[in-house]
Structure 1
């Protein structure tokens, strides 16, 4: 049995159901991210695991124990909130030791654990400061230390980095992941930022309107999206409605141009429509040697994005974007020029009809 078992979980607020028959198994020590737009149900599930929301139906088991209707204080979970939620009248040390004090631990044990946590978050000399004297990144480290001080069996993180600037966000997410690996604690992380989820997760749950559209490793989610929603939400993607020409050989037509996919399309019939997708980085300007597919059109836009140059080519009705690594010596295509783009058969994704 998995460490966390969520079975047929449902949550409704009056007539509105925000989580529909949600099921998930999480292994001990695993780092799981819930990824999706605002209102998709990811935070509601996290709050039900914590006990801050009551499930309308279904069950939550942690370590084999039934947790569905237990109050938060009896679940032994640590939670870090988006807005830090530090007590302004307590010092850093007071905030970190708060849960231990409530649990009735003696002063020497609290002091030792607080010192250990301060070392863990690399703020050993800031125990006497108050939250207003810390930067945003430091405050979130303190919030993390407070959640970990009670030695929880599960760590829950509700968009903990969204209030920080980009550079601090990247460094702190790396610290969180390193700490999680060091402690081996089972962690559930909620975010709407696909880069965060892809960079630090063992597995990702992509949420859409209260349901899990896909659960998989970052590589599976990115390279083999199961639905149109996942394909469009995770990463940049070119989506086309293709016409199936020959299911047996994988031949389809994109905007009237024949191409071949290595993916299985045997469930489709001739002339059926199939949603197909191409990542911008899978496309090359020019080429077509060997068994590479080609599409021809006209350059419509060239955008400088720093590390990459994004080129958009208009086919007939459809448009396709491709990324080229930035090179000062690169001879960029001119807007209005004829262009050929090529890609491997393996790179043409088929998005399931559901």
Structure 2
């Protein structure tokens, strides 16, 4: 039986249905990300699990207990907000121990637990400081320690890294994941950043217009998107229109090139998806070659992103930067290698 179960969850604000028939089963200790654009309903789902919003309908169970009718402070849930929400008049140690104090925990136990939490987040020597004396990354660590101090059953993270700069975000997301693994706490993480979701999660829920478009591992979400929205939202994707020659075998033409997809297609056309990293400059060992003309060259450091015109259709692809080989120039004719098995059938 799943540790956290959400069934047929719905939420409407007036006539606006922001969450529609949402289902999710989470195992104990699992790290789940709710990923999607602004307004897709991911934060509303999180707030309903926390008890800050009441579902219009549906069931939420934690460790077998129905919690929809329970108040937030009755659910044994820890929550970390985007804006830290630390008490400015309390020290770091007092902030971390606040939830325990509210519960009436003896002071000796609070002091011991606060020391454990500060050691866990690497701020043992800063317990006497106030929030304004900390960096943004340190404040977010304190917010995480405060949420974890009462030993919650479930940890909820609402875009906790979005206010931080890029380098700190990468460092802190690794720390959060390491702490979550060490404690084995069931975690729901809300983000609109696909890199965060893919790098941190056991499974990802891609949300679109209030529904879960796809639930799967990062590998599944990226390599086998179930819908056109998921294919376009997660990662960079080329979409190419192909003419179906043989619906039974899935033989198509892409530009002037015939490709056997070896899967049935209804036809007469199909929309195919192809990740830029699946395209090579030169055919090499690939089973299919495409011809095109370079239209863009973007230097991104270790990677060079190029774009080629395939006779009316644009194809982006990546090549590694090396100081020994100059990349093609705009206007150069190139041969590009792909494998038919890497083509995703988006529609058709």
Q: TM-score range by the shorter chain?
A: over 0.9
2:281 equivalent among 264, 282, 285: 285
CA distance in 2, matches of 1:324, 1:68: 51
CA distance in 2, matches of 1:283, 1:124: 49
Unaligned runs of 5+ in 2: none
2:313 equivalent among 311, 318, 329: 318
Worse overlay, 65-74 or 239-248:
239-248
- Provide the secondary structure at the position in 2 that maps to 1:125: helix
Contact residue 5 and residue 25 of structure 1 kept, 8 A: yes
Q: Counterpart of 2:101?
A: 101
What RMSD, in angstroms, separates the aligned Cα atoms of the two structures? 1.2
Measured after TM superposition, the shift of residue 244 of structure 1 is 1.9
CA distance in 2, matches of 1:6, 1:274: 36
Measured after TM superposition, the shift of residue 352 of structure 1 is 5.2
Please give the residue correspondences for 1:64-79 in structure 2 after superposition, counting only pairs within 5 Å: 64-79=64-79
- Provide the secondary structure at the position in 2 that maps to 1:19: strand
CA distance in 1, matches of 2:347, 2:292: 27
CA distance in 1, matches of 2:347, 2:193: 24
CA distance in 1, matches of 2:347, 2:79: 36
Contact residue 261 and residue 349 of structure 1 kept, 8 A: no
The TM-score, its normalising length taken from structure 1, stands at 0.96
Measured after TM superposition, the shift of residue 202 of structure 1 is 0.1
Measured after TM superposition, the shift of residue 219 of structure 1 is 0.3
Q: Counterpart of 2:147?
A: 147
Q: Counterpart of 2:246?
A: 246
Please give the residue correspondences for 1:150-169 in structure 2 after superposition, counting only pairs within 5 Å: 150-169=150-169
- Provide the secondary structure at the position in 1 that maps to 2:335: strand
Q: How many residues are paired up?
A: 348
CA distance in 2, matches of 1:342, 1:182: 44
Identify if the C-alpha distance between structure 1 residues 186 and 318 changes in structure 2 by more than 3 Å, giving closer, same or farther.
same
- Provide the secondary structure at the position in 1 that maps to 2:124: coil
Q: Counterpart of 1:10?
A: 10
Q: Counterpart of 1:224?
A: 224
Please give the residue correspondences for 1:1-354 in structure 2 after superposition, counting only pairs within 5 Å: 1-262=1-262, 264=263, 266=264, 268-269=265-266, 271-287=267-283, 292-351=287-346
**Structure 1 residue runs of 4 or more that deviate by more than 6 Å after TM superposition:** none
Measured after TM superposition, the shift of residue 246 of structure 1 is 1.9
Contact residue 84 and residue 143 of structure 1 kept, 8 A: yes
CA distance in 2, matches of 1:36, 1:178: 24
- Provide the secondary structure at the position in 1 that maps to 2:170: helix
Contact residue 31 and residue 202 of structure 1 kept, 8 A: yes
* Offset from partner CA, 1:18-39 (integer Å, 9 cap, x none): 0000001000100000001100
Measured after TM superposition, the shift of residue 288 of structure 1 is 5.8
